[in-house]
Structure 1
């Protein structure tokens, strides 16, 4: 008898996986994840998201861009901080930079387009986990660097929403704490 997928249990047990290794998704799996991400809420079908996938040797080249970004913010950054920036993309076999591509529109404000891109990032994570990979969404100062967007080939209207790292789990997942919805919800 086939196992029935329990979507609610899957969502309730979702957990970021910060330690990842190879193998990562193949081209067909990446395409499936992108198809899921592109189903995110999208008012007036502006498609306000872009995805830049980085894998293989390109991760080292991206590490160089992160080091340059660090040095723009902190020209006195020590070697340890520079090494951390250089090695950040090597934390997983696949890194997807999610960009919000903001379009001036009278009915769809920029904040709504950013939320749509954020939903796309989360959909990537859910799709990766549905394919039995681990994933983690990272931001930080690099995500606020508009020059980094340009260095990656992004347009002037694009902003980094986050970096989604995807690969095979390399550690035991942390226990997911039980949360009480009453702490976050009330009837109005």
Structure 2
């Protein structure tokens, strides 16, 4: 697939089934992730793959975390949290390793991981692998990070679900660049010119 065409046509794929991407595809996908912008070469990203029975264990974590916030959660809601990781054969946890640096604030390191995540989505699409970045309250909960073994200086930024696309492809909504792109004008300069 041509790079530009892939970037312009990529869509998230919510319905995913077996098989998961194979080892060769995953290597290509993660190599793309490692080319994300990275101020000061801090390499702020780390990725945890969750597959097979580990998805059930992650579902238990999600349910436990949800109950921590909402102790009166209905049994069907608990079951839904347990089933969340089963929506794809492979999940990739996006971990941001924060390094204190005088020129690279935390937000830049988080953005670098987000850029790596976008590269994962684009590479997956180019390889014909379905993928979707999912978050939600359990993704940002400290108990989820702890259960995944994250260190105190690390943050979980969600999960990318991957597998084989199932069902019809998502229809691309046409977007006009003119609705989102405009030339900036310095208001102070323009006021001086017009005398306002």
TM-score, normalising length from structure 1?
A: 0.95
| Partner residue in 1 for 2:67 | 71
- 1:159, CA displacement in angstroms? 1.1
| Partner residue in 2 for 1:169 | 165
**Cα-Cα RMSD:** 0.9
State the number of aligned residues: 184
Residue in structure 1 matching 2:143, options 147, 160, 171:
147
Check whether the contact 1:97–1:162 (CA below 8 A) recurs between aligned residues: yes
| Partner residue in 2 for 1:179 | 175
Q: Distance in 1 between matches of 2:119 and 2:32?
A: 6
**Dislocated runs of 4+, deviation >3 Å:** none
SS in 1 for 2:124: helix
Matched, 1:44 2:73: no
SS in 2 for 1:162: strand
- 1:171, CA displacement in angstroms? 1.3
| Partner residue in 1 for 2:6 | 10
Q: Distance in 2 between matches of 1:10 and 1:130?
A: 6
- 1:69, CA displacement in angstroms? 0.9
Higher-Rg member (1/2): 2
Q: Distance in 1 between matches of 2:23 and 2:7?
A: 25
Q: Distance in 2 between matches of 1:175 and 1:25?
A: 23
| Partner residue in 2 for 1:85 | 81
TM-score, normalising length from structure 2?
A: 0.91
Q: Distance in 1 between matches of 2:116 and 2:4?
A: 19
- 1:49, CA displacement in angstroms? 0.9
Check whether the contact 1:121–1:162 (CA below 8 A) recurs between aligned residues: no
Check whether the contact 2:140–2:158 (CA below 8 A) recurs between aligned residues: no
Matched, 1:105 2:101: yes
SS in 2 for 1:136: strand
Q: Distance in 1 between matches of 2:132 and 2:182?
A: 30
SS in 2 for 1:53: strand
Per-residue CA deviations over 1:101-147 (Å, capped at 9, x if unaligned) read 11111000000000001111111111111111111001110121112
Structure 1 regions of 5+ residues with no counterpart? none
